[in-house]
Copies of this chain bind each other. A is one copy, B any other.
Amino acid sequence: MTITIKDIANRAGLSAASVSRILTNRGRFSEKTAQHVRQLADEMGYYKNQSAADLSQKESRVIGVLVPITHTNFADEIIKGMQGKATELGYELLIAFIASDNQQQLKTIKSLLSRQLLAVVMLAIEIKDNTFKVLENADILLLSVSNQLNNVMPSISSDNYSMMFTIVDYLYQKGHRQIALIGASDQHSTVANLRRQGFIDALLKHKINYNPDFIYGDENAYQTGLNAIQKFGKPLPFTAVIGSADIISIGLLNGAKDAGIKVPDDLSIITIDGTELTELTRPILTAAQQNFAKMGELAITTLAGQKLSPDTVVFTNITLKQGGTVAQLD
């Protein structure tokens, strides 16, 4: 038998209403009885039945978080950021891992929607159209984190366009003129589109005509990096390469090693993301590091503020983190 508010009320010689008020710190009560009740609750091993509370209160403070089940190692950092702020502001996170499989996706979403949620936050999810419809119809706050989605729903992310200027400027200043971009070719991804456009424009700014062949690979995978090196062969037609995710860059690094290409002497690599993974390679990867923890925090504060419209776009800073994979050319 589980302990309810009534049990406490009986023992304390009070009504359930009073106990409720005390335990939730709402309304008026005397501090003296309150102390007694709190102690009693503790002794008796009472835990609020949140389902009952949710049912009774109209407003919910639960935020659903959709995390792609395909391991993206930065999701942890975002969640960590959200978690901290959520605890601080009194929100709860309901984390659900979501498969890429359409059928399963719907099932997960529906079960999520069965809990009354304040909002649903999607981490780096490329959402399927029909799944999106379901969420939209459910009339619930939506927020995309780390995946910039202009005008579809509000999002918190890095400024992917200007990020490319930071990267290209850096490489240019290091003497690089032939630069490739790997893993941002997906035509259907807003992020990839922005990165390609920023890449091209940044090159033009330096009066470099970009070579379309140097933009390659549309999948966010280790294999994409390996493939890229194989495709371009040895010697490589460029001196520097930008990996659109850490895992891609590690593929580039290992591919280079396998092909007898020295990093950074024969090839410079700069990676986008800059998660812990970048510390595990030799040399350590130079990175345009995204501020994932900050994204997580902002996700919560933004939702708490509730000033959201589909074209709300919040940017977090990026940091150029020096590793050992970019050489200075003479």
Contact = CB atoms under 8 A, between A and B. Distances in A.
Contacts of A111: 50, 92
A187 interface: no
B80 A47 contact: no
A95 interface: yes
Given A87-B104, A95-B97, A107-B87, A276 B71 contact: yes
For this chain, the copies found in one complex come to 2
Interface of A: prevailing SS: helix
Contacts of A222: 279-280
A110 interface: yes
A137 B45 contact: yes
Residue from A51, A54, A104, A276 with most neighbouring chain B CB atoms (10 Å): A51
A282 interface: yes
Contacts of A280: 222, 247, 250, 254, 277, 280-281
Contacts of A73: 71, 73
Interface residues of A, number: 48
A97 B76 CA distance: 9
A83 B71 contact: no
Contact of A54 (B51, B94, B110): B51
Contacts of A113: 47
A257 interface: yes
A55 B47 contact: no
Contact of A55 (B51, B87, B276): B51
A261 interface: no
A113 B107 CA distance: 25
B97 A80 contact: yes
A93 B277 CA distance: 28
Given A95-B96, A113-B47, A76 B71 contact: yes
